[in-house]
Amino acid sequence: MGIAPAGLKVLGLTGGIGSGKSEVARVLRSVGIPVIDADDVARAQMRRGTPVFDAVIAEFGPAVVGADGEVDRRALAGRAFADPATLARLNALTHGPVMAEVGRRLAVLREAGQMVAVVEAALIVEGGLDRALDGLIVVTAPEEARVRRVAARDGVAEAEVRARCAAQASDEDRAARATLVVRNDGSLDDLRGRALRVAMEVARHAGASGGTNAEP
């Protein structure tokens, strides 16, 4: 990622859409591990009046602006994930500003005395960002479960969710580059228990490097 200040270990947290990585992030935060959500950063970077907003509208037109005057992220995602070239254009507009803000937040954490932090992002493996991290947590889940979960959550057709899944790396590709794999193939309590064990591993990461491909 090339954005971590000296003295701060930075791990990534990733997984396919609907995998449950946000729940894992909540568990990490609950035990005091700071997590920076790159999607939240991207949302803030794309608000009306920002340079990224202007660039996105110039590239994709007013059809991606909602009734509130902000970018309609669902409409934008529907276009982007339907075509790899369109997704690449969107990433080119947003990646730099998002990473700059993530880097700024990491620097603040280091100045506050933090020794370890986690960056939650969907496309860490796809962008090769894991190579610059001190570790990578990957959350996996059966694709059919992910499709049903996201379709119900976002009120979109399953075909749209499958298109987004197809635009992302597979669980196998992510797991092959992981330090820790969290399987979300049971109940919510199962996931939270596994996430808590990961949190303990992350806390230990502040003092030493972890293993590879371990499953809590």
Alpha helices in 70-120 (DSSP H): 73-80, 84-111
The span from the CA of 80 to the CA of 74, in Å, is 10
Closest to 11 in 3D by CA, of 206, 172, 196, 214: 206
CATH number at residue 104: 3.40.50.300
Query: Is residue 214 in a domain?
Result: no
Query: Is residue 1 in a domain?
Result: no
Residues in CB range of 86: below 8 A, 6 or more apart: 79, 80
Query: Is residue 103 in a domain?
Result: yes
pLDDT in tens, 127-177: 888 888 999 999 999 999 999 999 999 888 999 899 889 888 999 999 999
Domain count, the chain: 1
Q: Which helix (H) or strand (E) holds 60?
A: helix 51-60
- For residue 46, is pLDDT > 90? yes
Query: Is residue 213 in a domain?
Result: no
- For residue 122, is pLDDT > 50? yes
Query: Is residue 151 in a domain?
Result: yes
The span from the CA of 162 to the CA of 19, in Å, is 13
Domain encompassing residue 134: 9-205
Sign of CA dihedral 67, 73, 79, 82: negative
pTM of the model as a whole: 0.86
Token digits for 96? Answer: 């730099």
